[in-house]
Amino acid sequence: MWGILKQHLQRFDFLTLMARGTRGVVDAWRISIVTALEDRGNKENPLDHKLVTFLMGSFVAEIAKLEARKTELETQIKAATATPEEGEEEEDDAEQVDEAKIKRWKKNLAEIKKTLKTKKDQFTAELNKGVDDLTDKAAAELLLKILHADMENILTHYIVAQRGQIVAAFENWWDKYRVTLAEIERVRSEATEKLAGFLKGLGYV
């Protein structure tokens, strides 16, 4: 079990854990997240990091909620302000655009974008506060919780993969060896007819 644990701890910087303890691992994560935020060429989303997920769950949930509302408003505004493409005629019964509603949507969208920017600007400060407030015990519990979730995901992946292989094997066997009820009845009927003919030939029928 320890061999498996050690193998997967490499993903959590096993050397850092041995040298600096659990707080050292968490602090190393913090540095990598902040560095990724400052690197505009980095395509990974720092909000997806496990430390952020487990340490700043409510903060991330608020951002996700704002992002969803932002997308919803942008879609509504785009649909309401869309004009017929060249060569197309607007339907006579098309719903009239409610300018007041669109104006209200745009106002809400501007407010949400402002709130989102503020939240994202606060991210580093919130992350630093969350990490700095961790005690050694809390850091150890957090690391174990993250490791447990990661190993659970790995096991789930293997279970799903193995289950798929088992299902595929049974389906293959079924396709290869299956005998339908109609086929069984046909064979039985043919055997019955042959037996009747045989008995008749012997004079028993």
pLDDT at 6: 46
19-50 pLDDT, tens digit each:
667 788 888 888 888 888 777 666 777 778 88
- pLDDT at 192 exceeding the cut of 90: no
For the chain, what is the radius of gyration of the CA atoms?
Answer: 33
Give per-residue pLDDT as tens, 132-165: 988 889 988 998 888 888 888 888 888 988 888 9
Average of per-residue pLDDT across 160-186: 80
Mean pLDDT computed over every residue of the chain: 80
Domain ranges of the chain: 2-83+96-135
Query: DSSP assignment, residue 92?
Result: T
Q: Map tokens 């969208």 to a residue.
A: 109
Distance of CA 187 to the CA centre of its chain: 51
- Let me know how long the chain is: 205
- pLDDT of 58-94, one tens digit each? 888 899 999 999 999 999 999 888 776 655 555 544 4
Q: Is 144 exposed, middle or buried (0-12, 13-18, 19+ CB in 10 A)?
A: exposed
Q: Is 144 helix (H, G, I), strand (E, B) or coil?
A: helix
70's CB contacts (< 8 A; 6+ apart) are: 109, 112, 113, 116
Give yes or no for residue 180 having a pLDDT over 80. no
pTM of the model as a whole: 0.56
Structure tokens at 49: 């990091």
Question: What pLDDT was estimated at residue 2?
Answer: 41
Dist. CA 51–CA 124, nearest whole Å:
13
143's CB contacts (< 8 A; 6+ apart) are: 12, 17, 22, 25, 26
pLDDT of residue 3: 46
The larger pLDDT score, comparing residue 39 to residue 187, is at 187
